[in-house]
Amino acid sequence: MIRTLPDASAGLGLRRALLEPLRAAPAGAFDFLECAPDNWIGVGGRLGEALQDLSARHPLTCHGLSLSLGGLEPLDEVFLEKTRRFLDRHRAVLYSEHLSSCTGEGHLYDLMPLPFTAESVRHVAARIVRVQDALGRRIAVENVSYYAAHPGHDMDEAEFVLAVLAEAGCDLLLDVNNIYVNAVNHGYDARAFLARMPSARIASYHVAGHYDEAEDLKIDTHGAAVKDDVWALLGEAYRLHGVRPTLLERDFNLPPLGELLEELARIRDLQAGAASTSGAHGAAGRG
């Protein structure tokens, strides 16, 4: 049976350096964990046992890294089957992947943006449908950060995301930090972009830190604490679209677990504030 998560829940990324602190954390310290199946499929021994222990005690969401939903090479059907078994074994609450490409005559080990064109919408949507069929579940796709746009767009980024969701019949994992980074780097209004996202399709949120290379250049690193402007944007997301399960992403420069839990408390505070406001004035709902 697939678990479910309350909308007002806050989670942490399951990183190997955090395995033992997470296992020792007191009950209620976090609501769920997220891992990348790509990094855990086939892992046994001490690490595999730790993962099994954590997923037995805490809801697990999964965030893929290497399906290359927008790529031109055929989907890896063997890997899809392994992923399905992994999701079923750990009763994953949600599976998501990036709205990007990471292959091109081999694996690029980076998330490349897709052209915002009608042809690209049809291509990536067909692949998402195939992935959903193979995994036996509806998935969510994440809006990605990018630094150079393809020429010859038919639409802007928000239109592209909306078109893919409609064509593929999938959900959205809304990365608030990616919206902020892209808005600064490409000169658009982050709140206007956020307002165009479909409340009913948002399955969860990601929030993360970034690096300020310059006033007009932000790098999506997941290696620092979340910035105040991104916290404010997350609060706006809750106000516009409602509270959803929210993950704090931190991939490197990992601080002690206590510092991550302090950031997690900020997510919970924002969620509680949004719930209080919606209770008084009405909230955005899912359809």
Q: Which two tokens stand for residue 277?
A: 């406001």
Residue 20's pLDDT is what?
96
Is residue 258 predicted with pLDDT exceeding 60?
yes
Sorting pLDDT into bands at 50, 70 and 90, what band is 149?
Answer: confident
Q: How confident is the model at residue 151 (pLDDT cuts 50, 70, 90)?
A: confident
10-280 maps to which CATH number? 3.20.20.150
Decide if pLDDT at 72 tops 70. yes
Count other C-beta atoms under 10 Å from residue 17's C-beta: 10
Q: Please state the rounded mean pLDDT for residues 109-128.
A: 89
Q: Please check the confidence at residue 214 and state whether its pLDDT lies above 90.
A: no
CA 57 to chain centre: 22
Q: What is the mean pLDDT of residues 63-83?
A: 94
Q: Where are the domains of the chain?
A: 10-280
Contacts of 99 (CB under 8 A, 6+ apart): 69, 70, 114, 124, 141, 142, 143, 144, 161, 164
Q: What number of other Cβ atoms are within 10 A of residue 237's Cβ?
A: 27
Q: In this predicted structure, what is the pLDDT of residue 195?
A: 98
pLDDT score, position 33: 98
DSSP result, 201-243: GEEEEEEE--EEEETTEEE--S-SPPPHHHHHHHHHHHHHH--
When pLDDT is averaged across residues 20-44 and rounded to a whole number, the result is 96
Please give the model's pTM, rounded to 2 decimal places. 0.91
pLDDT given for residue 108 in this prediction: 42
- The DSSP annotation for 179-196 comes to HHHHHHHHT--HHHHHHH
The per-residue pLDDT for 287 is: 43
Cα–Cα nearest to 262, from 250, 245, 280, 274: 250
Q: What value does the mean pLDDT of the chain take?
A: 91
More confident site: 201 or 104: 201
pLDDT number for residue 103: 52
Q: Express as a percent the part of the chain with pLDDT over 70.
A: 93
